Chains A and B, each alone.
Chain A
Amino acid sequence: MKEGGGGYRNLLAISSLDKDDVLSLLDSARSFAEVSTRSVKKVPALRGKTIVNLFMEPSTRTRMSFELAAKRLSADVVNFSSSTSSLSKGESLKDTAKTIVAMGVDAVVVRHGSAGAPLMLTDWVECSVINAGDGMHEHPTQALLDLFTIRERLGRLEGLKVAIVGDIDHSRVARSNIHALRKVGAEVVLVAPQSLLPRDIQRMDVAVAGTIDEVLGWCDVLYLLRIQLERVNESRFPSLREYTLLYGLTDARWSELDHKPMVMHPGPMNRGVEIDSSVADDVESVITGQVAAGVALRMAVLYDLLGGSHG
């Protein structure tokens, strides 16, 4: 993984990993998945290490997932979130970083609304930095856990056909998944109106389709993104109703499919918008599987960055 300025190992973006980095993390996650099935769900791998969850944007699942991952590795975890921190009092990210450094921690897991904030942090802290989602940029651990989930279920990644549907423009999950899927040799088609696609996205070596019906018979994996009502106010599409009409995984579409793809969603789902409730119930096991995979994958990441072999 990428070396930081002070020689610390970081996980900032999938774009800076190579294929072997990705695959070795997935392999490592598999062995950590076993830990979560034990009655005592704990290994002493990171005993004595301190990890700060620095969450400057609301998040429940990712923060919990990182916290559980750290605790199952016996690390000490401190949570620092913007609602309770001095950030709401106008303290700069740099000053916050300096404060954290002074506390002598081993890693900062950062979620931030601004793209690039985790990279900036590496200049200011003396410890590993893990990106838990930065603006519209990347969410690397989400993509890794998604790949892990796909591989566990379908047995492979190379050559798979993956469709990602929804608000690509605002989605760090989409960006990280595109990088990760392309690195491991999966084909990717993005499904969205042009008004929800960022400019020149094709240069990321993906194809684009205009409606969900163009990919339903084709894809092995159908990755639905959460669509937000506020995009209607930004004139990105006319209404949620029309979104569902063109891009929703409706019961009618689902029941017609002979070959049903694996359906994924980063959560939380908007039932009745990007996915009908009955379909959501049908595919629930995969989606909760993503959540379980999240803990194992994040254990793998933390161990890789902080574990013994790298000191």
Chain B
Amino acid sequence: MADSILIKGGRALTFPGGLTGEVDIMVEAGRIKQVEAGINAGGAMVIDASGCVVAPGLVDMHVHLREPGMEYKEDIASGSRAAARGGFSAVFCMPNTEPPVDNLSVAEYVYDRGVDEGFCMVLPHGAITVGRRGETLAPMGEMAACRAGVMGYSDDGDPVANSEMMRRAMEYARTIGALIISHSEERSLSDGGQMNEGYYSTLLGLRGIPGEAEQIGVYRDICLAEKTGATLHLAHISTSGSVELVRSAKRRGVRVTCEVAPHHFSLDDSMLTSYDTNLKMNPPLRSRGDVEALMEGLADGTIDVIATDHAPHASHEKETEFDRALFGVVGLETCLALVMTKVVDSGVLSLEDAIARLTEAPARIMSMERWGYGTALEEGDDANLVVFDPEQRWTVDPGEFMSRSRNTPYAGWDVRGRVQHTLFKGRLVVIDGELAEGTR
């Protein structure tokens, strides 16, 4: 394999900068060497990118790669391949593994496994509390200082219930320059719930999860962040109420950011009449009104980031009664297409602004320059790039996923926008939409 690669004839998308006209990008020894029209290929391998956009590799702030502990669902080998195929150069793993990421050994294990596989950066978020039990603070300082450089802390699906604990965690995190990531949920309101509470849960006889369960959590953590001055990131917000709470907090100058998952802006609770367990996730699919509010939140910048909450589950965990099925869907391999189809095509965001929610924004929030990740595509930067055809239509076939699990609600969907090539640190890890194995 050639040491240098010439990506020819694509439009580059950079932050800052935006979308350029057709240019060539020469990649050499893992780095971007030159960005210019009409570069001579010389001995370089040439990738035809005409009609394509060449953007910084995508960054997913919220995935579950299930390793260690639940490798039958996914592991870092399969999950990082799925990420690369989805155009991602970095994924941040939630700490709800077994054992959880609540100490430096597990954090470094996750990080090292990502390096071993070499398809993208696999960076762990750490737990706020030991065992994610909400009782004692996990060693954030130690995890931050280890080679996994953990910066984001979250107890994820078992949110810190005790407000005093959350307050102290925020104060401590602020001191060490860490970020608290909140899965906001008031459990006493949501326990036993299976789907969004509303007309459809009534019709289907499924126990509801009220939007207020999320909003109470969101508001509590915004209050605590305001008080402590901590930096807060709200995971997967899903309701119009949450969008409004974040909007007004930002107006007051609270250091808060938030993300939305593609399923929350592309699906709604009326679809659950099929009792399809691939529509079961937490937070649940909300009403059409909520979907509209999320789109408005994306449009006006209230929602900073799009993150997948990629949550693989084995078939036997989904092919079961709705109230026994586990929460979550896979998302890495459909994310870009859903953003193109639902956010860009509908005019909510321009292509540039939509891709920024998958690159520039998460990179800024997670200080990705630490990892040599840049979005300016300047000479000397690590060549983490995604080459995608924004016009190509394709049909989602879960059988083709690299992910070990197939729990997607999008099987058979016709979508637009397909990843052609992914470069990770200058290596082509995805060529023509297929994984490039054995290229190291």
Asked whether A and B interact, the reply is yes
Q: Which B residues are in CB contact (< 8 Å) with A203?
A: 199, 202
Nearest chain A residue, comparing its CB with the CB of B315: A94
Kindly list 11 other residue pairs between chains A and B, CB separation below 8 angstroms, not including A94-B316, A201-B202: A94-B319, A112-B321, A114-B324, A115-B204, A115-B206, A116-B204, A116-B206, A136-B205, A137-B204, A172-B205, A199-B198
Pick from B202, B275, B322, B323: contact of A199, CB under 8 Å: B202
Provided the pairs A114-B323, A117-B321, A120-B321 are in contact, do residues A199 and B205 lie with their beta carbons within 8 angstroms?
Answer: no
A-side binding surface: helix, strand, loop or mixed? mixed
In contact, A204 and B320 (Cβ under 8 angstroms): no
Q: Which B residues are in CB contact (< 8 Å) with A175?
A: 202-203, 205
Provided the pairs A114-B324, A135-B206 are in contact, do residues A198 and B201 lie with their beta carbons within 8 angstroms?
Answer: yes
Q: Which A residues are in CB contact (< 8 Å) with B74?
A: none
17 residue pairs bridging A and B, Cβ less than 8 Å apart: A92-B320, A115-B205, A115-B322, A116-B206, A116-B321, A135-B206, A135-B323, A136-B206, A136-B207, A137-B206, A198-B208, A199-B198, A200-B198, A200-B199, A203-B199, A204-B202, A204-B203
Interface set of B (CB-CB < 8 Å, partner A): 197-199, 201-208, 210, 274-275, 316, 319-324
In contact, B320 and A138 (Cβ under 8 angstroms): no
Interface string of A188-222 (1 = CB under 8 A from B): 00000000001111011000000000000000000
Determine if A93 is an interface residue (Cβ-Cβ < 8 Å): yes
Determine if A134 is an interface residue (Cβ-Cβ < 8 Å): yes
> Whole-angstrom distance from the CB of A12 to the nearest CB of chain B?
10
Q: Which A residues are in CB contact (< 8 Å) with B319?
A: 92, 94
In contact, B202 and A93 (Cβ under 8 angstroms): no
Q: Which B residues are in CB contact (< 8 Å) with A120?
A: 275, 321-322
In contact, A138 and B275 (Cβ under 8 angstroms): no
CA distance A198 to B201 in the complex (A): 8
Q: Which A residues are in CB contact (< 8 Å) with B197?
A: 199
Determine if A24 is an interface residue (Cβ-Cβ < 8 Å): no
In contact, B320 and A93 (Cβ under 8 angstroms): yes
Which of A112, A138, A199, A201 gathers the greatest number of chain B CB atoms within 10 Å? A199
Determine if A15 is an interface residue (Cβ-Cβ < 8 Å): yes
Nearest chain B residue, comparing its CB with the CB of A116: B275
CA distance A121 to B34 in the complex (A): 59
Q: Which A residues are in CB contact (< 8 Å) with B275?
A: 115-116, 119-120
> Whole-angstrom distance from the CB of B212 to the nearest CB of chain A?
11
Interface set of A (CB-CB < 8 Å, partner B): 15, 92-94, 112, 114-117, 119-120, 134-138, 172, 175, 198-201, 203-204
In contact, A200 and B322 (Cβ under 8 angstroms): no
Provided the pairs A112-B321, A115-B275, A115-B322 are in contact, do residues A138 and B205 lie with their beta carbons within 8 angstroms?
Answer: yes
> Whole-angstrom distance from the CB of B200 to the nearest CB of chain A?
8
> Whole-angstrom distance from the CB of B67 to the nearest CB of chain A?
25
B-side binding surface: helix, strand, loop or mixed? loop
Provided the pairs A94-B320, A112-B321 are in contact, do residues A199 and B203 lie with their beta carbons within 8 angstroms?
Answer: no
CA distance A135 to B323 in the complex (A): 10
> Whole-angstrom distance from the CB of A252 to the nearest CB of chain B?
33
In contact, A200 and B202 (Cβ under 8 angstroms): yes
CA distance A88 to B199 in the complex (A): 33
Q: Which A residues are in CB contact (< 8 Å) with B321?
A: 93, 112, 114, 116-117, 120
CA distance A114 to B207 in the complex (A): 10
CA distance A201 to B321 in the complex (A): 24
CA distance A238 to B210 in the complex (A): 23
CA distance A151 to B321 in the complex (A): 36
> Whole-angstrom distance from the CB of A177 to the nearest CB of chain B?
13
In contact, A199 and B206 (Cβ under 8 angstroms): no
Which of A114, A203, A204 gathers the greatest number of chain B CB atoms within 10 Å? A114
Which of B199, B203, B205, B324 gathers the greatest number of chain A CB atoms within 10 Å? B205
Q: Which B residues are in CB contact (< 8 Å) with A136?
A: 205-207
CA distance A201 to B197 in the complex (A): 11
Pick from B210, B274, B316, B323: contact of A115, CB under 8 Å: B323
In contact, A134 and B202 (Cβ under 8 angstroms): no
Q: Which A residues are in CB contact (< 8 Å) with B324?
A: 114
CA distance A117 to B208 in the complex (A): 17
In contact, A134 and B205 (Cβ under 8 angstroms): yes
Q: Which B residues are in CB contact (< 8 Å) with A204?
A: 202-203
In contact, B203 and A15 (Cβ under 8 angstroms): yes
> Whole-angstrom distance from the CB of A138 to the nearest CB of chain B?
7
Which of B203, B210, B316, B320 gathers the greatest number of chain A CB atoms within 10 Å? B203
CA distance A138 to B206 in the complex (A): 11
> Whole-angstrom distance from the CB of B218 to the nearest CB of chain A?
20
CA distance A175 to B206 in the complex (A): 12
Q: Which 5 A-B pairs have the closest CB atoms?
A: A137-B205, A116-B275, A136-B205, A114-B321, A198-B202
Q: Which B residues are in CB contact (< 8 Å) with A198?
A: 201-202, 208
Which of A117, A120, A175, A203 gathers the greatest number of chain B CB atoms within 10 Å? A120
CA distance A119 to B324 in the complex (A): 15
> Whole-angstrom distance from the CB of A180 to the nearest CB of chain B?
14
CA distance A102 to B349 in the complex (A): 53
CA distance A138 to B197 in the complex (A): 18
> Whole-angstrom distance from the CB of A181 to the nearest CB of chain B?
15
CA distance A137 to B197 in the complex (A): 14
Q: Which B residues are in CB contact (< 8 Å) with A93?
A: 320-321
